[in-house]
Amino acid sequence: MKRTLISELDNDHLGKTVTVEGWIHEIKRLKSVDFIMLRDKTGIVQVTVKKTETPIGIDLGSLTRESVMRVTGEFPEKQISKKMKEITASKIDLLNVAATPLPLPVAENIESDLETRLNNRFLDLRRHENYAIFHTKSNLLWGIRSFLHTHGFVEVNTPKIVASSTEGGADLFRVQYFEMDAYLNQSPQLYKEILISSGFERVFEVGPAFRAEKHNTTYHLNEFTSIDIEMGFSNHEDAMAMLEGSVKSGIENALSHAHNSGNYQLRMLEVPELPFPRVEYSKCLSMVQNAGGKIEFGEDFGPEHLRVIGEKYPGFYFITKWPSELRPFYTMVDPDDETLTNSFDLQFREREITSGAQRVHDPEMLRRRFVAKGLNPEDFQFYLNAFRYGMPPHAGWGLGLERLAMILLDLKNIRETSLFPRDRTRIVP
């Protein structure tokens, strides 16, 4: 018996016997007929059960919502409803019975609060609009992956259990690694740079990044998905071009595979035009100061500052040439002005989605940068070694996939874009 997905029920199936499987969305019992709305991930079909007919195998009175069943029946020539496809059941198999009451409504058009939804995430995700988020995220990522493949990148996987911090920061989760102390990696930065010295030339990685930051905002997670690239024989301009190309390709792919089943409207950004504007940090600084913002050269923009800048640049844009003190040790200094760096952030309005830069490739300069940042080069020997025997100039970036998905779908909370989000207080489910 071949299963047909609800979205596949088309003119070719008219008048034929089909088998569909899914969850009971709703049950409507009338005098002479019963209706069961059956849902699979692709849509909802109305199953008509006529009372006069021979028994179909189950007691409809005991059916509960969200139970799982298989329905075999005719997909009639005459489809009465314009809105919903219909099947006339001849046999129903109840595959699994759902308990009642449901801890979270699935079918109703009720907005539950996010906490309750996340506590019952397995049910929450049954709602088509939530499935659509992850379907979109998957296609977004696929579009980025395929762009990078087309441009000669190889996908790699670097360790997430590491011995030292990437940036010397304190925002690390510690783990016990047998008799040693270890950490969960904040970023694949050091490893992807090492692979440039290994001759891979162009690498990318899609993997988890862990940040033990105690913030509790609508755009931070403690575990998020980082898309990282590193490219040899390249500078920050090359990396920016690769970034805007990736973002465009991701959005194009998400749009062309938009998932529109069920009764919700999936809203997405339009495909952005390239190139994205490039705006220097110093120009952004003046904009903020002119708007009355209290900020000096060398300080990072706060949320209220980014709002001012975002109003001037309502789409994607780069902020370039960040001051040296704001960027990590591996960032290349601007050869024309050593207070600045060959670095960039990609923004969407007030939100940062990527940080990137040309990197230092000269081991002596790298040592000096470690010291200037108050770090001990001895702690980074495994990394420095890779620079001593032929490291090409290189550049790269790290993009937060959940941040980009959030922007693409205009969602207000990043937790919506994570299946099982980890935040300051949540590690279950």
Q: Where do contacts with Mn ion occur on this chain (CB under 5 A)?
A: 355
Taking CB under 6 A as the criterion, the residue among 129, 352, 379, 423 binding ligand ATP is 352
- Under rule CB under 6 A, residue 230 binds ligand ATP: no
The partner in contact with residue 203, picked from ligand ATP, Mn ion, none with C-beta cut-offs of 5 to 8 angstroms by kind, is: none
Q: How far is the CB of 398 from Mn ion (least distance, A)?
A: 8
Nearer to ligand ATP, 25 or 327 (CB): 327
Q: How far is the CB of 282 from Mn ion (least distance, A)?
A: 18
- Under rule CB under 6 A, residue 343 binds ligand ATP: no
d(CA 414, CA 428): 17
Give bridge partners of residue 155 from the DSSP assignment.
204
- The residues in 360-399 that bind ligand ATP, with binding defined as CB under 6 A, are 398-399
Q: Which long-range contacts (CB under 8 A, 24 or more apart) does 412-417 make?
A: 412/218, 413/114, 413/218, 414/218, 414/219, 414/220, 414/221, 414/224, 415/114, 415/118, 415/218, 415/221, 416/114, 416/130, 416/133, 417/133, 417/137
Residue with tokens 């019963």, as numbered in its chain: 34
- Nearby residues of 366 by Cβ (< 8 Å), 6 or more positions away: 329, 330, 360, 377, 384, 387
- Under rule CB under 6 A, residue 403 binds ligand ATP: yes
Taking CB under 6 A as the criterion, the residue among 43, 262, 400, 421 binding ligand ATP is 400
Q: Can you give the length of the chain in residues?
A: 429
- Under rule CB under 6 A, residue 228 binds ligand ATP: no
Q: Name the residue among 64, 11, 78, 77 with its Cα closest to residue 36.
A: 64
Taking CB under 6 A as the criterion, the residue among 23, 75, 183, 224 binding ligand ATP is 224
Nearer to Mn ion, 211 or 361 (CB): 211
**Residues 94/82, Cβ–Cβ less than 8 Å:** no
Nearer to ligand ATP, 45 or 406 (CB): 406
- Under rule CB under 6 A, residue 226 binds ligand ATP: yes
The partner in contact with residue 224, picked from ligand ATP, Mn ion, none with C-beta cut-offs of 5 to 8 angstroms by kind, is: ligand ATP
d(CA 273, CA 245): 10
The partner in contact with residue 49, picked from Mn ion, ligand ATP, none with C-beta cut-offs of 5 to 8 angstroms by kind, is: none
d(CA 104, CA 126): 11
- Under rule CB under 6 A, residue 354 binds ligand ATP: yes
User: DSSP 3-state assignment of 184?
Assistant: strand
Nearest residue to ligand ATP, by Cβ distance, number only: 400
- Under rule CB under 6 A, residue 221 binds ligand ATP: yes
State the DSSP H helix or E strand holding residue 365, giving kind and residue range, or none if neither: helix 363-372
Nearer to Mn ion, 254 or 357 (CB): 357
Q: How far is the CB of 415 from Mn ion (least distance, A)?
A: 20
Nearer to Mn ion, 25 or 192 (CB): 192
Tokens read off for 194:
């090492």
Question: How many C-beta atoms lie closer than 10 Å to residue 300's C-beta?
Answer: 12
Q: What does the binding site for ligand ATP look like in residue numbers (CB under 6 A)? A: 211, 213, 220-221, 224, 226, 352-355, 398-400, 402-403
